[in-house]
Structure 1
Amino acid sequence: MLERQFNGSRIREGRIYRGLTITDLAKELDISKQMISKYENNRAIPTFEALLQISKILNFPKEYFYENSIEVRTGNTYFRSLLTTGKKEREMQYDRVKYLTIIRALLEEYVDFPELDVPDFSERDIENVEDIAERLRDYWGLSDKPIKDIVYLLETKGFVISSLNLERKSIDAFGSQQEVNGKHYYSIVLGNNKRSFYRRQFDVAHELGHKVLHDPYLNLDDLTKDEFKQIEQEANDFAAAFLLPRESFLRDVSIHSNDLMYYKTLKKKWCVSIGAMVMRAYKLGAISDGTYQYMQRSISQKGWRTKEPLDDIKDIREPVSMKQAVELLIENNYITGDDFMYKLSKHYGLSLFREEVEELLGLEKGYLETESEPQKNNIVSIKDRLNSKSKID
């Protein structure tokens, strides 16, 4: 019988995933930080009892610490509001995107998803963010009409999207480019802390901006604070231009551009927050500097920076692509929950608890406990299901 080899780097990976420092884990285990470092660098192997403790503290199966996942080339992870997201907060999310993409690769053995469909814009083109947004709209056939559900739109364009309850409230969304088995993916994780459909629209468009505008392998740690700000501003400008196309939005907003209450009506049509529309109107010259400052003060006085009118009325849109894929496979007996977890472990080197996968995919708790006889070597297409999904205004 072959003896499995302990992989110390998985302790570090799991520790960071859970947001723990070496000091935190050492304290939990009542051992020295030096010993934790030795474990992580394969200079020492924990006893079976110690490994069980580590497994419990980090909430990963013990098999997780004996594996190497399939090779994933991961680009830089872009976060919504980079300047307010600390390094530790960012690091603990990196592998969530990677694990999500590995699960997508597994699902693609059974399910025919839409291919990632984003045109490549040259470095010279990126200087004009407004033009890039218009060209992407044209490429996707969106004309100049409002985007009623950008989460749905990006799923039909092949993006990997998940929605999670993130412990760090400063994180609204993050995304990065991944490469698995030579295939490129772009994965976006949305935070569920701020339950506003309209704010989520902008968050997703912001992450799309990073995909379209910025180098996926740029090392953000090498950037200055001003360069950080520039990257974020470019993504914000793209999001505004993509969601609120210049000519058609100007026609609407110019009717009563100085009336803050009029923006409530525009919010219903354009599916974008009032704050974002006021900013867009100002940058397009529809309102003066003085009016803009007055409207910003009014927004603050009304408490709209945290909660705007209509936020409680429209339900937030959740990603459905991968969730529906798993449901199709299990409910039609193509694979069982046990088979799915086994294959993720044995074929992709990623042992996770069911609860973790259910959360990553937005499945109901306990869903992957489904047991039925699988039918092998079947392909299920959800392209048609996505493309025929009725959009709810």
Structure 2
Amino acid sequence: MFQRQFNGARLREGRIYRGLTITDLANELGVSKQMISKYENNKAVPNLDSLLHITNILKFPREYFYETPVEVKTGSTYFRSLLTTGKKEREMQYDRVKYLTIIRALLEEYVDFPELDVPDFSDRDIGSVEEVADQVRMAWSLGDKPIKDVIYLLETKGFVISSLNLGNRMIDAFGSQHEIDGRLYYSIVLGNDKRSFYRRQFDVAHELGHKVLHDPYLNIEDLSKEEFKQIEKEANDFAAAFLLPRESFLRDVSIHPNDLNYYTLLKKKWCVSIGAMVMRAYKLGAINDGTYQYMQRSISHKGWRTKEPLDDLKDLKDPVSMKQAVELLIENDYISGDGFMQKLSQHYGLSLLREEVEDLLGLEEGYLETEISYTGNIVSIKDKLESRSRDITS
């Protein structure tokens, strides 16, 4: 009888996904570190009892550890704050964004999403980050007006975006490029720990900066601290220039550049945090060094580094396209929750618990457990089920 083989690479993947070291998992299982290493390198296979413990500890279904996943060419994962995000914390997120992209590929079999539409500057002679930001605005016909919802904008441009509870306040956002069956994706995950619409605007624009400015396959682990800083600075400068275009923002801020209360009014218009606007005003020469330092001290004294005025009045905008796609399919009986999970496993080699997928897609807890009820006689039910079965397996 044919028997599937345990996939040790999947054990390593799942362990890192949950933030466990080899020592952590060994202690949980009551085995040696050497045995875990053997499992992960296919030198040994866990017995049934150990496998059950592994599934409970890592919270992946048994099938996950026996699958060969769909091939995904994955680029470097860029983080909103590279310098303050430890290697372990970064490694935990690599496969999270990959899994999100695999789910997107599945959904695209049923739903038409916008094509990824990002200007390519690799063959252009662009002199500065400021110019690149202007060129992106021009390509997307944004003019010099405020961007009211950056998440929605990027979703209309084909980006894959999700918002998750990451359990790590040092991670604001991260993103990376993926390729599945020759199709390019750029996926961004946003942390839910800091519930400020205005700060999130900058986080998303920062990740867009990485996509536009930096090599998607650069190995960031090989970078020096100074190179890390330069990459972060470029992404921050892009985000500021993209959200606050030079000429139009200068016209506004120059009216009362030294008045922090005036920046509260500007915050309503430009949908960017006061801290980011003060920094932009300083870099554009609207305020001098002494005034900038005084304003920074005032921001600290007022406690605005943690929470600014208006933060409680503007609802956080979450990504909608992936959630809408699943709801569209299930509510219109194109596929059931079970069918969705089965196809993810059978066609893409990715068995996950329903709760994991619901979390990745921003669905309500238990949504994929929803059973579809049918009315009518037995024959019509059978025809309908057979038709759907052919759709799922075709």
TM range (shorter): over 0.9
Q: What secondary structure, in the 3-state scheme, does the structure 1 residue paired with 2:189 have?
A: strand
Q: Displacement of 1:340 after TM fit?
A: 0.2
Match of 1:278 in 2: 278
Contact 1:243–1:272 (8 Å) recurs in 2:
yes
- 1:86 is matched with which residue? 86
Match of 2:28 in 1: 28
Matched, 1:73 2:73: yes
Distance 2:344 2:248 in 1: 47
Q: Secondary structure at the match of 1:31?
A: coil
Write the deviation string for residues 345-372 of structure 1: whole angstroms up to 9, x where unpaired: 0000000000000000000000001223
Structure 2 equivalent of residue 191 of structure 1: 191
Displacement, 1:71?
Answer: 0.1
Pairing 1:163-242 to 2, within 5 Å after superposition:
163-242=163-242
Is 1:118 aligned to residue 118 of structure 2? yes
Q: Percent same amino acid among aligned pairs?
A: 80
Within the alignment, does 1:60 sit opposite 2:60 as a pair?
yes
Alignment of 1:243-282 (within 5 A): 243-282=243-282
Asked if structure 2 preserves the Cα contact closer than 8 Å seen for 1:162 and 1:190, the reply is yes
Q: Secondary structure at the match of 1:111?
A: coil
Structure 2 distance, partners of 1:229, 1:263, is 28
Return the letter of the residue paired with 1:165: N
Q: Secondary structure at the match of 1:112?
A: coil
SS in 1 for 2:166: coil
Q: CA deviation at 1:124?
A: 6.0
Cα gap change, 1:247 to 1:274, in 2 (>3 Å): same
Aligned-residue offset at 1:119: 1.1
Letter in 2 for 1:249: F
Cα deviation for residue 2 of structure 1 reads: 1.9
Letter in 2 for 1:96: R
RMSD of aligned alpha carbons: 1.3
- Give the whole-Å Cα distance in 1 for the aligned partners of 2:391 and 2:28: 46
The equivalent residue for 1:139 is: 139
**Matched letter for residue 55 of structure 2:** S
**Which moves more between the two structures, 124-133 or 362-371?**
124-133
Change in CA separation of 1:176 and 1:269 when aligned onto 2, cut-off 3 Å: same
Q: C-alpha displacement at 1:125, in angstroms?
A: 3.9
The Cα of 1:77 is off from its aligned counterpart by 0.0
Q: 1:117 to 1:60 in 2, by over 3 A?
A: same
Is the Cα–Cα contact under 8 Å of residues 209 and 234 in structure 1 kept in the other structure?
Answer: yes
- CA drift at 1:149: 0.2
Letter of the 2:46 counterpart: P
Equivalent residue, structure 2, for 1:37: 37
Residue 357 of structure 2 aligns with an amino acid whose one-letter code is V
CA contact (8 A) 1:126 1:132 kept: yes
How far does the alpha carbon of each residue in 1:244-289 deviate from its partner, in whole angstroms, 9 at most, with x for none?
0000000000000011110000000000000000000000000011
One-letter amino acid matched to 2:152: Y
Q: Which residue of 2 aligns with 1:153?
A: 153
Q: Residue 105 of structure 1 aligns with which residue?
A: 105
Task: Note the alpha carbon deviations across 1:153-176, whole angstroms, 9 max, x for none.
Answer: 000000000000001210000000
- Name the structure 2 match of 1:312: 312
TM-score (norm 1): 0.95
How many residue pairs end up in the alignment? 379
Question: 1:222: Cα distance to partner?
Answer: 1.1
CA shift in 2, pair 1:333/1:24, >3 Å: same
Q: Secondary structure at the match of 1:262?
A: helix
Deviations 1:156-206 (A, max 9, x none): 000000000001210000000000010000000000000000000000000
1:104-157: CA deviation from partner (whole Å, max 9, x where unpaired): 000000000000000100366454100000010010010000000000000000
Name the stretch that deviates more: 363-372 or 261-270.
Answer: 363-372
Question: How many Å separate the matches in 1 of 2:126 and 2:344?
Answer: 39
Provide the rounded CA distance (Å) in 1 between the counterparts of 2:55 and 2:347.
21
Aligned to 2:375: none
**Normalising by the residue count of structure 2, what TM-score does the alignment of the two structures yield?**
0.95
Mind listing any 5+ residue stretches in structure 2 that lack a counterpart? Answer: 373-383
Written as runs of structure 1 = structure 2, the 5 A alignment for 1:346-365 is 346-365=346-365
Aligned partners of 2:351 and 2:344: how far apart in 1?
7
Change (3 A) 1:166 1:363: same
CA distance in structure 1 between the partners assigned to 2:169 and 2:54 by the alignment: 27
TM-fit CA distance, 1:87:
0.2
Report the Cα distance in structure 2 between the residues aligned to 1:66 and 1:221, rounded to whole angstroms.
30
What amino acid maps onto 1:83 in structure 2? Answer: L
* Aligned twin of 2:340: 340
Maintained 8 Å contact 1:125/1:132 = no
Match of 1:294 in 2: 294
Q: Which amino acid aligns with 1:362?
A: G
SS in 2 for 1:261: helix
The answer as to whether partners of 1:74 and 1:178 remain within 8 angstroms in 2 is yes
Paired with 2:67 and 2:17, the residues of 1 have a C-alpha distance of 16
TM superposition shift of 1:378: 7.6
Q: Which runs of 5+ in 1 are unaligned?
A: 380-393
Q: Which amino acid in structure 1 is aligned with residue 284 of structure 2?
A: L
